[in-house]
Structure 1
Amino acid sequence: MNITLIILFVLGFFILLSSFFTVRQQTAVVVERFGKFLSIRQSGLHLKIPLIDRIAGRVNLKIQQLDVIIETKTKDNVFVKLKVSVQFMVIRETVYDAFYKLEYPHDQITSYVFDVVRAEVPKLKLDDVFERKDDIAIAVKRELNEAMTTYGYTIINTLVTDIDPDIQVKNAMNRINAADREKTVAGFEAEATRIRIVAKAEAEAESKRLQGQGIANQRREIAKGLVESVDVLNRVGINSQEASALIVVTQHYDTLQAIGADANSNLILLPNSPQAGSDMLNNMIASFSASNQVGELMKKKNGKERRKRESDYEIPESPENPDIE
């Protein structure tokens, strides 16, 4: 008898304990009575009738993520694998629909993702798939929201997290990128070379310009010196022709002296005999005299021609009318 009471007491204790249950935060519990829906319990401590009511299932109200990998073909016949991450959750007010209407939500979401991606990607070329992956994600989210809202689910976000083309296509793309970068490098190197050449040419041009200015200034000073030398010689009774010849001969001997002072010089000045200076002086005086004679003859000839042209344009006076202008 005592054993029977103990057994009944233990059974009653366990039945009493089974009357209470707890629901965790962000979770909903579906309670059924004799297999029929009774109620939905939210987080906290709850009571049910033992052996009559039962917990049919627990529904997670947190945001969940499902990663779907799809292989499809682009418009330019390139096979790619896309990884689409879908973030979804059960709407708190529609837990009944989420629990009873849809048995395998992950499979349902995966099917819709496959359908949308394989409808959108074949419209795009491979480069456009990379550039417009956000458009693909928006299309997947729109289609999933329209379908899954009926079953008590809402789509928080969809992301195309990975695009993986065929390995040969990836290698080709890498080679294209490498070639493009080499082309850019070659362009920069060519531009740098051009800048160096232009800078060098500008520097040489500036050097030649300054050198020319130096030579011009040198010759100007030499000319001034020659003029002063001729004036000095004229004052002592030497005419301009003889003075010019004397200066040239003096410069000739100065040049010979400068050449002889350089031990490493291999320059040969012709003629270089002792008689060369005297011959050069005589030739220069003779040439100056001849040029003066030619100049005088040209002046006389030009004067005669000018007077002849003036006489041809004169109008003779008429004996009948001497006042004709």
Structure 2
Amino acid sequence: MGYIFFIVLSFFSLIILISAIFIVRQQTSAVIERFGKFHSIRSSGIQLKIPLVDRISGRVNLRIQQLDVIVETKTKDDVFVRLKISVQFQVLSQKVYEAFYELQNPQDQITSYVFDVVRAEVPKMKLDYVFERKDDIAIAVKGELNEAMGDYGYDIIKTLVTDIDPDPQVKEAMNRINASEREKVAAEYEAEAERIKIVAKARAEAESKRLQGQGIADQRREIARGLEESVEVLNNVGINSQEASALIVVTQHYDTLQSLGEETNSNLILLPNSPQAGSDMLNNMIASFVASNRIGEEMKKKNEDQAKLGGKK
């Protein structure tokens, strides 16, 4: 009988000992109550409590937590928009009592403040400004939450506006506007590129014309120099200038006829092409030169006579 009593006593002692030991995990605080009244806060590690007297009322997570709140509101230009606000918060280790006892549901409390701030700030802005100034909205939410939740042991680490979703019809209209702007910019670039091509082509053509003219001038200068040398050579062998010119003209005439004959597919006809053509051409050129010289001499004499009459007066 005594042996059985000892076994039962040992069993109950073991149960009491086990119930007196508990473990608190890292980044967690345990709230201990004694006879229903707050007694102490235990941090991470192995902890002891009085069995049947003390109890663990709850555990408070000290890690950073995130709460996502979706708020639907209207902008200043009467566009309905949905904003996703991400709130990162943490319970302060020195204010676990306030966080555990003073707020029944802290997530609902945070959500209420987020709704209040967003619906106060966004209606002051046009839709474009909501996208541009989303950081201002996040700062306003963080400031309001820190002021409201600090007394309850909560620290607001950061608030982020993670999504801005306008009404689908408004979003489609914005996409059309952006597409039109991009098409306009593309057209301007294409027009500028076409202008550059036209200017470059015009400059190339002008340079080509200049070089072509320079080439023609050089060609004619060389022809004239060659004719001059030919006449000089013929004069040296006793042929006068007129006979030399006639010989050169006749020679070039027949050289031209020969070159035309070598072209089998040529449709060019040289007029006149009789044997007398070279001589007639030379005679006409000489007559023109003589007439031109005569007119020049007469005009020179006339100008000298007028100058003498003017000097006498």
Same topology, TM > 0.5? yes
Contact 2:146/2:155 (CA < 8 Å) preserved in 1?
yes
Number of equivalenced pairs: 312
Q: Which residue of 2 aligns with 1:262?
A: 263
Q: Which residue of 1 aligns with 2:120?
A: 119
Residue 242 of structure 1: how far off its partner (Å) = 5.9
Contact 1:246/1:281 (CA < 8 Å) preserved in 2?
no
Contact 1:71/1:81 (CA < 8 Å) preserved in 2?
yes
**In the superposition, relative to structure 1, how do residues 252 and 293 fare at CA in structure 2: closer, same or farther (>3 Å)?**
same
Residue segments in structure 1 that go unaligned for 5+ positions in a row: 313-325
Q: Which residue of 1 aligns with 2:81?
A: 80
Pair 1:149-2:150 in alignment = yes
SS at match of 2:290: helix
Q: Which residue of 2 aligns with 1:206?
A: 207
Pair 1:31-2:35 in alignment = no
Residue segments in structure 2 that go unaligned for 5+ positions in a row: none
Contact 2:88/2:156 (CA < 8 Å) preserved in 1?
yes
Residue 7 of structure 1: how far off its partner (Å) = 5.5
State the AA in 2 paired with 1:311: K
**TM-align CA RMSD:** 2.7
Residue 14 of structure 1: how far off its partner (Å) = 2.6
Contact 2:249/2:278 (CA < 8 Å) preserved in 1?
no
SS at match of 2:52: coil
After superposition, where does 1:172-183 map in structure 2 within 5 Å?
Answer: 172-183=173-184
State the AA in 2 paired with 1:121: V
Structure 1 range deviating more: 116-125 or 284-293: 284-293
Distance 2:93 2:290 in 1: 126
Pair 1:226-2:230 in alignment = no
**In the superposition, relative to structure 1, how do residues 250 and 302 fare at CA in structure 2: closer, same or farther (>3 Å)?**
farther
Contact 1:72/1:80 (CA < 8 Å) preserved in 2?
yes
Residue 238 of structure 1: how far off its partner (Å) = 5.8
Distance 1:72 1:103 in 2: 27
SS at match of 1:272: coil
Contact 2:235/2:244 (CA < 8 Å) preserved in 1?
yes
Distance 1:301 1:222 in 2: 36
SS at match of 2:267: coil
Q: Which residue of 2 aligns with 1:298?
A: 299
After superposition, where does 1:1-325 map in structure 2 within 5 Å?
Answer: 10-234=11-235, 240=241, 243-244=244-245, 247-312=248-313
Distance 1:60 1:218 in 2: 99
Residue deviations 1:160-215, cap 9 Å, x none?
A: 12222222233333333333333344344334333333333333332222222221
**In the superposition, relative to structure 1, how do residues 231 and 299 fare at CA in structure 2: closer, same or farther (>3 Å)?**
farther
Residue 122 of structure 1: how far off its partner (Å) = 1.8
State the AA in 2 paired with 1:91: L
Distance 1:62 1:108 in 2: 19
Distance 2:25 2:293 in 1: 129
Contact 1:249/1:280 (CA < 8 Å) preserved in 2?
no
Residue deviations 1:130-185, cap 9 Å, x none?
A: 22222211111111000000111111111112222222233333333333333344
Residue 89 of structure 1: how far off its partner (Å) = 1.0
State the AA in 2 paired with 1:69: I
The percentage of aligned residue pairs carrying the same residue is 74
Distance 1:289 1:170 in 2: 90
SS at match of 2:22: strand
Distance 1:282 1:6 in 2: 157
Contact 1:242/1:285 (CA < 8 Å) preserved in 2?
no
**In the superposition, relative to structure 1, how do residues 30 and 295 fare at CA in structure 2: closer, same or farther (>3 Å)?**
closer
Distance 2:293 2:195 in 1: 56
SS at match of 1:67: strand
Structure 1 range deviating more: 237-246 or 27-36: 237-246
Q: Which residue of 2 aligns with 1:322?
A: none
SS at match of 2:155: strand
Contact 2:246/2:279 (CA < 8 Å) preserved in 1?
no
**In the superposition, relative to structure 1, how do residues 260 and 14 fare at CA in structure 2: closer, same or farther (>3 Å)?**
same
Residue deviations 1:279-319, cap 9 Å, x none?
A: 3333333333333332332233222212111111xxxxxxx
Distance 1:162 1:23 in 2: 38
Distance 2:155 2:185 in 1: 48
State the AA in 2 paired with 1:141: K
Distance 2:48 2:280 in 1: 143
Distance 2:26 2:291 in 1: 127
